[in-house]
Amino acid sequence: MNFSSKHIEDVINEFAKLPGVGRKTAIRYLLHVLKQDDKETETFAAALINMKKELKHCSVCHNISDKEICNICSNHNRDKTVLCVVEDIRDVMAIESTQQYRGVYHVLGGIISPLDGIGPADLNIESLVKRISEGEIKEVIMAFSTTMEGDTTNFYLYKRLKEFNITVSTIARGISIGDELEYADEITLGRSITNRIPYENVLPIR
Amino acid sequence: MNFSSKHIEDVINEFAKLPGVGRKTAIRYLLHVLKQDDKETETFAAALINMKKELKHCSVCHNISDKEICNICSNHNRDKTVLCVVEDIRDVMAIESTQQYRGVYHVLGGIISPLDGIGPADLNIESLVKRISEGEIKEVIMAFSTTMEGDTTNFYLYKRLKEFNITVSTIARGISIGDELEYADEITLGRSITNRIPYENVLPIR
């Protein structure tokens, strides 16, 4: 396309670097920014810069935080004996928003994916093993997506953590709340029968 | 959701202001920015600020430009007697990239849309009428989307421009190149028969 100014070209190129954003979407974003007040654009730019300047990774769990140790790791009310291993900080946010989990986290920073060239050495796995070897942790919950990569990571971690005297569990796989049985895929339905749970453990929806 | 830092919240809120971006997409963009070099984020922020600082609307056609009068209006090789009226600068870019149009433009900055509360007074229509009243323009091509709003704008402009001794046309509506006749909707197909064109006027695809 033919742009009337280099500044437009620059902004479109920058927006188009965002994941899932092509040139058409970038132009849409650009038009939005053009219509904004100058002040709003300055706030936007400053928010980006400030975030990069202030944020670091928590030295314990690799979650992002503006402190050396994140709010979750430094919270005395959290159960330090239960550790939930997740792919990235989005999963921490998602689990935190359920308000059902009182333990701590470990963020791998990715998932084992040979197709993308990501192996165990690229993830925060050594620091996970080190944390567990310190002895305080009694249970590790692996909370990954139910994809091939998630299953691979589950299996790899299970083998690495076998030597420690801890429980290793994964989050339950089964029929989502609100799903109709007849539309569930066979593997999910099959697993949900194999891994059936005592009815008393299920909190009824009120 | 529960964020571990106010800086994250700020950036998510800013991204979520972009059109079509919700909080999940905003978090995806945020993770991308977090993974970038600090330098890249600074370039991104600077591109936004520079664009807002340097760009203005062309005082003749309302296209965006870094000069008082845009490259198209100030180009002596463009035909100043033919004027194409469009909704916004995206349409200018799209028409320019066809390389089929040698006239000039007029950007309305929107389209008449009573449902969104946008009337003729909110658009650059008075400056259009003024340009035409100066007498140099011989033909006005209305190039809007084939929506209700586009048709309304066509009709309103046609009525406003009737008093001048000029040709008012709209871009052709018909079967798109590559479309199969049997899948075309009835209105498009009907119009394409009513507005049939002499075969000599059609450039064969080579």
Please report the DSSP string for A102-167 in residue order. Answer: -EEEEE-SS--BGGGTB-GGGTTHHHHHHHHHTS---EEEE---SSHHHHHHHHHHHHHHTTSSSE
Residue B142: predicted pLDDT: 92
Residues 6+ apart with CB under 8 A from A206: none
CATH fold for domain B75-171 = Dna Topoisomerase Vi A Subunit; Chain: A, domain 2 (3.40.1360)
Best of A1, A6, A8, A43 to disrupt the B interface by mutation (most B CBs within 10 Å)?
A: A8
pLDDT averaged over chain B? 87
Asked if residue B206 has pLDDT above 60, the reply is: no
* Segment B145-169 mean pLDDT: 90
CA atoms of A105 and A128, how far apart (whole Å): 10
B 160-199: CB under 8 A from A: none
Task: Return the percentage of chain B with pLDDT > 90, whole number.
Answer: 43
Task: Return the percentage of chain B with pLDDT > 70, whole number.
Answer: 95
pTM of the model: 0.69
- DSSP single-letter state for residue A68: S
Q: Was domain B6-54 assigned CATH 1.10.8.420? A: yes
SS3 B106: strand
Residue B79: predicted pLDDT: 93
The low-confidence residues of chain A, meaning pLDDT below 70, are: 1-4, 202-206
Asked if A22 reaches chain B (Cβ–Cβ under 8 Å), the answer is no
Asked if residue B155 has pLDDT above 70, the reply is: yes
Residues 6+ apart with CB under 8 A from B178: none
* Segment B97-111 mean pLDDT: 90
A 107-136: CB under 8 A from B: none
Residue A4: predicted pLDDT: 65
Asked if residue B11 has pLDDT above 60, the reply is: yes
Residue A26: predicted pLDDT: 92
CA atoms of A101 and A79, how far apart (whole Å): 9
Asked if residue B21 has pLDDT above 90, the reply is: yes
Residue B137: predicted pLDDT: 93
Alpha carbon of A126: minimum distance to chain B alpha carbons (Å): 21
CATH of A70-171, one of 2.40.10.10, 1.10.8.60, 3.90.1310.10, 3.40.1360.10: 3.40.1360.10
What is the ipTM, given to two decimal places? 0.71
Amino acid letter, residue B50: N
CA atoms of A148 and A165, how far apart (whole Å): 27
Q: Is the distance from CB of A60 to CB of A107 less than 8 angstroms?
A: no
Q: Do B46 and A50 touch (CB under 8 A)?
A: no
Residue A202: predicted pLDDT: 66
Asked if residue B2 has pLDDT above 60, the reply is: no
Q: Do B44 and A14 touch (CB under 8 A)?
A: yes
Q: Do B34 and A52 touch (CB under 8 A)?
A: yes
Burial of B36 (0-12, 13-18, 19+ CB in 10 A): middle
Residue B205: predicted pLDDT: 55
Pairing label, strands B139-142, B79-86: parallel
Q: Do B51 and A71 touch (CB under 8 A)?
A: no
In this complex, the residue of B31, B44, B55 whose CB is nearest that of residue A48 is B44
Q: Is the distance from CB of A113 to CB of A151 less than 8 angstroms?
A: no
Which chain A residues have a beta carbon less than 8 Å from that of B57? none
Asked if A25 reaches chain B (Cβ–Cβ under 8 Å), the answer is yes
A 41-80: CB under 8 A from B: 41-55, 63-66, 70-72
Same fold for the pair A6-54 and A70-171: no
Structural domain boundaries of chain B? 6-54, 75-171
Which chain B residues have a beta carbon less than 8 Å from that of A66? 4-7
Residue B156: predicted pLDDT: 93
Q: Do B50 and A2 touch (CB under 8 A)?
A: no
Residue B134: predicted pLDDT: 92
* Segment B138-149 mean pLDDT: 90
